[in-house]
Structure 1
Amino acid sequence: MKARTLKPDKVNIITLGCSKNLVDSEVLSGQLKANEINVVHENAKLDHNIVVVNTCGFIDKAKEESINTILAQVDLKKRGKLDKVYVTGCLSERYRNDLESEIPEVDSWFGTLELPLILKEFDADYKKELLGERLLSTPKHYAYLKISEGCNRTCAFCAIPLMRGKHISKTIEEIVAEAEGLVKRGVKEIMLIAQELTYYGLDIYKKRMLADLLKKLSDVQGLEWIRLHYAYPNKFPFEVLDVMRERENICNYLDMPLQHASDRMLQLMKRQSTRTEIIETLNTIRDKVPGICLRTTLIAGFPGETKDDVQELKSFLQEQRFDRVGVFTYSHEEGTSGYNLVDDVPAAEKQKRAEEIMEVQQEISYEKNAEKVGKVFKVIVDKKEAGRYLGRTEFDSVEVDNEVIIQSGKKLQPGQFIQVKITNAFDYDLEGEVI
């Protein structure tokens, strides 16, 4: 494409939101590079002339960040620092018509599944033979691997189906080929992501196939860790746990967002599970994989939530003692069934409830970390920062979980696996020495 500058085009992709968006940006980068277009991600040098903003539209804070980012890029364009600004992703998918009229300086808007249309703006061809090829923006030793797109669930608070559509699984062969390609490039850990992992395969194989997929992936030579994110508790396929227990390179780790523990709130949220059913599922998971790390996310301040509901949730956390917990404050999203309810919990109260819940978890997290002191764990080195090495155990995912502060007299490399004896524990981090 022609721009006002005489220099060759250089495209900077800015990614906002979740790891699924990050994968989309990596795929776009790979396609642009294959078309011999200079592309970078989160470019700090500011020597690019074109920007693609990959937006998030999940909750209010994410939408605000996306809008602010777009406006900042438009301002650079007005000042002659950029030739073109393109916007894609969830916010663009959901609010394109409104945004086009409100921010006319954006050159083009694209939805979540319009990669070929974005490429046309660069006179580039969509190369089907590059299926699975990505320009990684993560450190080279780990990567996210998306196994499906969209979601068939109808949770009352969630707008994801409005932005991402119905559930569409990739084939097992396609996913395994992508994993093999990642390993050849130095990736040692992959994090399987989807809106709903456990639904995998129902659309193309007519049955839940996550366990079969895991068997195939765990056979990939050189793949040392496989990690599972975003599993739904209802109709959880327990055969997945048998594979997890049998295969050493599948981390004893499961991210299962539960959202609440009060039966009344679970019903209002349309979660399809009761508190008793959730507890039975958790008990089975722990029985099948002793020592498994369970991560969950919760929502504070959903319409109709009372202080009794919050107390019930806090009691649930004290009983279940999850290893990792994240809490979101409820965001009233138009188009969802929850939007028909009165958003009756003030923002300040939502935040207060979220903080109360995290205070309970903070204590649990410290106690669980303290139990690790004196024990030895396999740790992957992620980076060196402020003169010290940081890594993770198999019980910790990237960015959202604990880090291990590593004391070492020897030089360590990112992606290296080492044995670390834990010497100190904090609320959300560990410290240890290489043995």
Structure 2
Amino acid sequence: MPPMQNPPDLRPDLARARISDTVRDGQPTIGMVSLGCPKALVDSERILTRLRAEGYGISGDYAGADAVIVNTCGFLDSAKAESLGAIGEALAENGRVIVTGCLGAEPEYITGAHPKVLAVTGPHQYEQVLDAVHAAVPPSPDPFIDLLPASGVSLTPRHYSYLKIAEGCNHSCKFCIIPDMRGRLVSRPQRAVMREAEKLVEAGVKELLVISQDTSAYGTDWKDRDEKFPILGLSKALGALGVWVRMHYIYPYPHVREMIPLMAQRAENGLLPYLDIPFQHSHPDTLRRMARPAAAERTLDEIAAWRAACPDITLRSTFIVGYPGETEAEFRHLLDWMDEAQLDRVGCFQYENVAGARSNALPDHVPEEVKAERWARFMEKAQAISEAKLAAKVGQEIEVIVDEVDEDGIATCRTKADAPEIDGNLFIDEGAGALAPGQIVRVEVDEAGEYDLWGRLV
């Protein structure tokens, strides 16, 4: 299976973006296509917010834009191909294209395929992107008309928002080139993070999704810090805002155990009992070849400790199968580990080479057909675990947040165990017509599937 494509709802040109459709006469307009992870989506929001502040209109389609920015992903070869395809589509539909993002770190790769792009900038190079826009489409602001809301431009639905707390990563995993593209860890000051979070909550956001390359390392790059692990203080502060707070990309360092009581003690709103942890594999030899920072032999003990402190915690993770040198015995170790760990939400990718990654040079690459076969076996195991865990929820009353209500009155919701786009949903198909996105309601679960739930309003 190839790695998942960027979900359509995270494409700002396709998403339900909070962008005004009103464009005044003569106002220059810019379109945006955002590919890759939520961290890139935050970059896109910042670029569009700056452009709106300068008087540009934001177009939801190619035809209405004077130029289009494509924010690219360059993590995997398949993601690079998707980015090149999106650039080609924008060139065909609009003709005036500025490229930014992770793939922008390889400008020759982009211009070799698409020599007609107007400019190429690298990841989080906001000033260079703005300079390129100014050169292609000069600004023409009207200070009496072009007013920017305090919350800025958001490309997610109104009731949830990503909150990026740091950039870069200090790890050197052999399969990953993110440190080369985005640099070493640079954490945002807590006061800046909290100011942004408070503004989002004031604007009506009901769920904050905390993201970075290594969230549990937040603040450890500060030399004169008051706390040894600033993520703990930030978690407490965010948890006091009265909205759902969901933690993503948590490496299982020992200090993570101190976050778990915060999740167990939460009231109606606060730090959700949810951890997104990129375990990647279980076998110590595989992890050593990956140069992973986690101590795999203690991971099951950590999971047991987390669940003892917070029995309703949800654990999600991603794994790589077919990593160079992975033997059948190492893969079976992963399957056995899954039986013990009983993770709630699981994703899996087949290994593929990435230009510049050190793993490319490792010996004993696994044949493609073996990768595919192992992926199928892994997903069969993960699906069975998910199905059993969800079946155990039938008859329970739980809180859900409403994401969407369609014209037939069917509500698509998420539980505290479900992050948007990557986890499952809970559907209410009776009596939900009066619900609105962002509402948090109680339901009784009356049916379960492999990844989704169905329920009725209590």
- Render the CA deviation track for 1:101-126: whole Å, top value 9, x for unaligned: 4421000001113101111233369x
1:267 corresponds to which residue? Answer: 288
Aligned to 1:183: 201
Match of 1:290, SS state, is coil
For 1:61 and 1:357, how far apart are their aligned partners in 2? 21
Partners in 1 of 2:345 and 2:40 — Cα distance?
Answer: 23
Q: Does 1:118 align with 2:129?
A: yes
Which of 261, 265, 284 is equivalent to 1:246?
Answer: 265
Q: Provide the secondary structure at the position in 1 that maps to 2:83.
A: helix
Report the counterpart of residue 415 of structure 2 in structure 1. Answer: 393
- Tell me how far apart the structure 2 counterparts of residues 31 and 211 of structure 1 sit (CA, whole Å): 31
Report the residue type matching 2:384 in the other structure: E
Could you tell me which of 164, 169, 174 is aligned with 1:146? 164
- Structure 2: how far apart are the matches of 1:343 and 1:69? 34
TM-score calculated relative to the size of structure 2: 0.87
Answering whether residue 422 of structure 2 is matched by residue 422 of structure 1, we say no
**Cα distance between partner residues in 2 of 1:389 and 1:102:** 43
Normalised to the residue count of structure 1, the TM-score between the two structures is: 0.91
The answer to whether the Cα contact below 8 Å between 1:379 and 1:418 also exists between their aligned partners in 2 is yes
For residues 385 and 56 of structure 1, the distance between their equivalents in structure 2, rounded to whole angstroms, comes to: 31
Structure 1 residue 349 displacement after superposition:
2.2
Q: Does 1:229 pair with 2:228?
A: no
Write the distance in 1 (CA, Å) between the matches of 2:61 and 2:92. Answer: 17
Secondary structure in structure 2 of the residue aligned to 1:152:
coil
CA contact (8 A) 1:373 1:424 kept: yes
| Separation in 1, partners of 2:114, 2:423 | 37
- Report if the CA contact (8 A) 1:407-1:434 is conserved: no
Matches within 5 A, 1:255-404: 255-342=276-363, 344-385=365-406, 387=408, 388-404=410-426
Deviates more, 1:303-312 or 1:348-357: 348-357
Displacement of 1:360 in angstroms is: 0.2
Give the conservation status (yes or no) of the 8 Å contact 2:77–2:355: no
Give the Å deviation of 1:416: 0.5
**Larger deviation: 187-196 or 341-350?**
341-350
Partner residue of 1:26 out of 26, 37, 45: 45
CA distance in 2, matches of 1:361, 1:315: 11
The superposition leaves residues 359-398 of structure 1 with CA deviations (integer Å, 9 ceiling, x where unpaired) of 1010110100100001000010000236211101111110
Measured after TM superposition, the shift of residue 45 of structure 1 is: 6.8
Cα-Cα RMSD: 1.9
1:208/1:237 contact within 8 Å kept: no
Q: 1:173 to 1:432 in 2, by over 3 A?
A: same
Match of 2:17 in 1: none
Q: Which amino acid aligns with 1:401?
A: D
The yes-or-no answer on 1:65 pairing with 2:82 is yes
String of CA shifts for 1:315-356, please: whole Å, max 9, x gaps. Answer: 111111100000011121232221221361122322221121
**Letter paired with 1:158:** C
The aligned counterpart of 1:202 is 220
Residue 84 of structure 2 aligns to which amino acid in structure 1?
I
Per-residue deviation, 1:56: 0.5
Confirm or deny: 8 A CA contact 1:28 1:134 kept in the other structure: no
Residue 168, structure 1, aligned to residue 179, structure 2? no
Cα distance in structure 2, aligned partners of 1:46 and 1:376:
47
Partner SS state of residue 221, structure 2: helix
Q: Would you say how many aligned residue pairs link Structure 1 and Structure 2?
A: 415
Q: 402-411 or 293-302, which moves further after superposition?
A: 402-411
Gaps of at least 5 residues in structure 1 are: 1-5
Q: Which amino acid aligns with 1:272?
A: P
Q: Secondary structure at the match of 1:203?
A: coil
Do 2:73 and 2:101's aligned partners in 1 also have CA atoms closer than 8 Å? yes
Question: Residues 276-311 of structure 1, C-alpha deviation per residue, up to 9 Å, x if partnerless?
Answer: 211122122112211200001000111001111111
The alpha carbon displacement at 1:212 in A equals: 0.1
The CA distance in 1 between the partners of 2:347 and 2:176, in whole Å, is 16
- Note the C-alpha offset of 1:57: 0.7
8 Å CA contact retained: 2:62, 2:68: no
The change in CA–CA distance for 1:45 and 1:419 in structure 2 (over 3 A counts) is farther
Give the 3-state SS of the residue equivalent to 2:133 in structure 1.
coil
1:85 alignment counterpart: 97
- In structure 2, what is the equivalent of residue 3 of structure 1? none
Runs of at least 5 residues in structure 2 that lack an aligned partner in the other structure: 1-24, 141-147
Letter aligned with residue 440 of structure 2? F
* Map of 2:210 onto structure 1: 192
- Give the Cα–Cα distance (whole angstroms) in 1 for the partners of residues 232 and 441 of structure 2: 29
**Alignment correspondent of 1:108:** 119
Q: Is the 8 A contact 2:175 2:359 kept in 1?
A: yes
User: What residue identity is the alignment partner of 1:147?
Assistant: I
User: What CA deviation, in whole Å up to 9, does each residue of 1:176-195 have, x standing for no partner?
Assistant: 10001111111010000010
Worse overlay, 271-280 or 403-412: 271-280
In the alignment, the residues of structure 2 paired with residue 272 and residue 425 of structure 1 have an alpha-carbon distance, to the nearest angstrom, of 36
- The CA distance in 1 between the partners of 2:49 and 2:102, in whole Å, is 20
Measured after TM superposition, the shift of residue 211 of structure 1 is: 1.0
Q: Secondary structure at the match of 2:98?
A: strand
The residue matched to 1:264 in structure 2 has which SS?
A: helix
d(CA) in 2 for partners of 1:318 and 1:74? 48
